């Protein structure tokens, strides 16, 4: 595939054939030389063929092959004359990350680390098909789908303050639970408050470097401070919503009149009845995911309090922010000299709004939206902040993590005969896991170098580094 280097951090797939716009890739030269880049680049070109796409089909430095869109893909479509595609959101709708700070420092933590990780593993349900302590009937489940994090807080799972520091207040108001299939609803009845499997995790770490002191202070971060990071999504309910609407859009292809270059990019006009129904059902799954992460954080707070024998005030486990990275949203952006209403798809990509943007909660608005970038469980994670550059180039978007370098199958082959958890323990990181193949599939070598990924978005000016976190204990599904 023809590829043009624009500068040290930007590459372009020129517009050819059926492409409506060019593709733009954020990466450095070393990343572009790595194997496995051809397929996600082809997916970028395919996305650029969809009707109503604006400016460019984008891919972040953590890009890798995904269903339809590449993971790490961003694309915006005109709300009135463009399309919406489940492949541009993904199966795990509103998979996302939340980060909490505490009053503990690293020295406080180390003597209790093993007790803490064991207690978190016992009390935070994880793994394929895991069920939580929150049991719902259909009527109550629909309230979760409509209210999101607000439902959880109203029932004692956390504090009203948590809603302020959650993207969109933890609720998309367009949600319509009546559009959720019985199978999707049933799958969601017993999975609220569960971590899930795959790359989902709970991580206890500490701040080991500050890059921007003023922003770090505003975010409540300080060196050696203990943090809690959670990565989870909408579980089986979100998966089923995606599956249901892929089937509906496939059956309606003739009626829609769009033949995408890849059948995984099946879509509907955003303004059509089918497009609106998908958006409202997706919003339900997004709200479920926010409620899920809210409950997970509440249970984690209680475990910390029990292990350290302290109360909420002394622990001071405060939510820094909750961001999603598998979603489509109705947003207004400045394009071509005018304001346009767009449907922005972010699949494995995070919102990165600039300082002053009204969608950022007021206490953090002057500093830009917090961006949470988890790495692999053996290296580091990062806190970034949104920039004006992201608003001008990427519809206020940036990367979402390190991004896979090896498929799960390849990672299992590479990990055969190794004791990954022992290797991590030798580096001072305690790990607890549920799935038999989890450790091999999620070993550090399966992921790109997160520091390199972050350097690209920082160097390109679409995010700025605020702080680096190091892991000390991880619970995996």
Q: Helices (H) and strands (E) in the chain — how many of each?
A: 18, 19
Of the residues 298, 400, 421, 458, only one is catalytic, namely 400
Residue 395's alpha-carbon distances to 173, 342, 475, in angstroms, are: 21, 9, 34
Backbone angles phi, psi at 333, to 5 degrees: -135, 155
Cα–Cα distance between 403 and 454 in angstroms, integer? Answer: 11
Q: Render pLDDT for 295-310 as a digit per residue (tens, 0 to 9).
A: 999 999 999 999 999 9
Percent of the chain with pLDDT over 90: 88
Helices 138-147 & 273-308 angle (0-180, nearest 10): 90
- Side-chain-side CA neighbours of residue 98 (13 Å): 30
Confidence label for 116 from pLDDT (cuts 50, 70 and 90):
very high
**Parallel, antiparallel or unpaired: strands 10-13 and 4-5:** antiparallel
3-state secondary structure of 175: coil
Integer angstrom CA distances of residue 420 from 36, 114, 148, 346, 405: 24, 17, 37, 32, 17
Integer CA distances (angstroms), 59 to 7, 35, 206, 317, 417, in order:
15, 16, 30, 34, 35
> Quick one: average pLDDT of 15-22?
97
Residue whose C-alpha is closest to residue 25's, from 48, 53, 57: 57
Q: CA angle 85-90-94, nearest 5°?
A: 110
- What is 4-476's CATH superfamily? tRNA-splicing ligase RtcB (3.90.1860.10)
Q: Which run of H or of E encompasses 276?
A: helix 273-308
Cα–Cα distances in angstroms (integers) from residue 457 to residues 8, 427, 450, 452, in the given order: 11, 28, 11, 9
DSSP-assigned states of every residue in 97-120: EEEEEEEEEHHHHGGGHHHHHHHH
Average pLDDT over residues 447-453: 96
- Verify whether residue 333 is a known catalytic residue: no
Three-state secondary-structure class, residue 3: coil
Structure confidence at residue 477 (pLDDT): 80
Pick the closest to residue 96 from 425, 370, 299, 431 (CA basis): 370
pLDDT in tens, 27-74: 999 999 987 889 999 999 999 999 999 999 999 999 999 999 999 999
Q: Could you give the C-alpha distances from 199 to 267, 449, 477, in angstroms and in order? A: 27, 16, 7
Cβ atoms 62, 71 nearer than 8 A = yes
pLDDT at 128 over 90: no
pLDDT tens, position by position, 213-269:
999 999 999 999 999 999 999 999 999 999 999 999 999 998 889 999 999 999 999
Say yes or no to pLDDT of 415 above 90: no
Across the range 147-173, mean pLDDT stands at 98
The pLDDT value recorded for residue 36 is 82
pLDDT value, residue 152: 98
What is the per-residue pLDDT for 129?
Answer: 78
CA-to-CA distance for 50 and 18, rounded, in angstroms?
A: 9
């Amino acid at each position: 595939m023809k590829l043009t280097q624009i500068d040290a951090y930007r590459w372009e797939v020129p517009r050819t054939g059926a492409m409506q716009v060019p593709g733009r890739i954020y990466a450095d030269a070393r990343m572009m030389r790595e194997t496995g880049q051809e397929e996600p680049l082809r997916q970028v070109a395919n996305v650029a063929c969809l009707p109503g796409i604006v400016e460019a089909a984008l891919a972040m430095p953590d890009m890798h092959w995904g269903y339809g869109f590449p993971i790490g893909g961003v694309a915006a479509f005109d709300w009135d004359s463009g399309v919406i595609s489940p492949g541009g959101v993904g199966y795990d709708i509103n998979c996302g990350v939340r980060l909490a700070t505490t009053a503990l420092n690293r020295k406080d933590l180390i003597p209790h680390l093993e007790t803490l990780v064991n207690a978190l593993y016992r009390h935070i349900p994880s793994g394929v098909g895991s069920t939580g302590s929150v049991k719902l009937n259909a009527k109550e489940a629909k309230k979760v789908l409509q209210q999101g994090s607000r439902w959880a807080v109203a029932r004692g799972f956390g504090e009203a303050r948590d809603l302020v520091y959650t993207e969109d207040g933890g609720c998309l108001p367009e949600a319509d639970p009546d559009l959720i299939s019985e199978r999707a609803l049933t799958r969601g009845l017993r999975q609220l408050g569960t971590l899930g499997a795959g790359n989902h995790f709970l991580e206890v770490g500490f701040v080991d470097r500050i890059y921007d002191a003023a922003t770090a202070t505003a975010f409540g971060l300080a060196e050696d401070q203990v943090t809690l990071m959670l990565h989870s999504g909408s579980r089986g309910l979100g998966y089923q919503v995606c599956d249901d609407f892929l089937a509906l859009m496939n059956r309606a292809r003739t009626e829609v009149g769009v033949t995408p270059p890849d059948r995984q990019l099946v879509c509907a006009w955003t303004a059509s009845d089918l497009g609106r129904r998908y958006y409202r059902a997706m919003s339900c799954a997004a709200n479920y995911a926010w409620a899920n992460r809210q409950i997970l954080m509440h249970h984690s707070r209680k475990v910390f309090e029990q292990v350290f024998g302290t109360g909420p005030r002394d622990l001071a486990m405060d939510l820094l922010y909750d961001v999603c990275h598998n979603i489509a949203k109705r947003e207004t952006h400045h394009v071509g000299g005018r304001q346009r209403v767009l449907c922005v798809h972010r699949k494995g990509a995070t919102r990165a709004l600039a300082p002053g943007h009204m969608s950022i909660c007021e206490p953090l608005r002057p500093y830009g939206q917090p961006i949470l970038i988890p790495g692999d469980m053996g290296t580091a994670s990062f806190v970034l902040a949104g920039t004006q550059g992201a608003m001008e180039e990427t519809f206020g978007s940036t990367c979402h993590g390190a991004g896979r370098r090896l498929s799960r199958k390849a990672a299992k082959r590479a990990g055969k005969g190794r004791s990954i958890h022992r290797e991590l323990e030798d580096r001072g990181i305690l790990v607890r896991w549920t799935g038999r193949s989890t450790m091999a599939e999620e070993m550090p070598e399966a992921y790109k170098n997160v520091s390199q990924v972050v350097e690209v978005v920082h160097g390109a000016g679409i995010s700025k580094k605020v702080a680096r976190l190091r892991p000390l204990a991880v619970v995996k599904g």
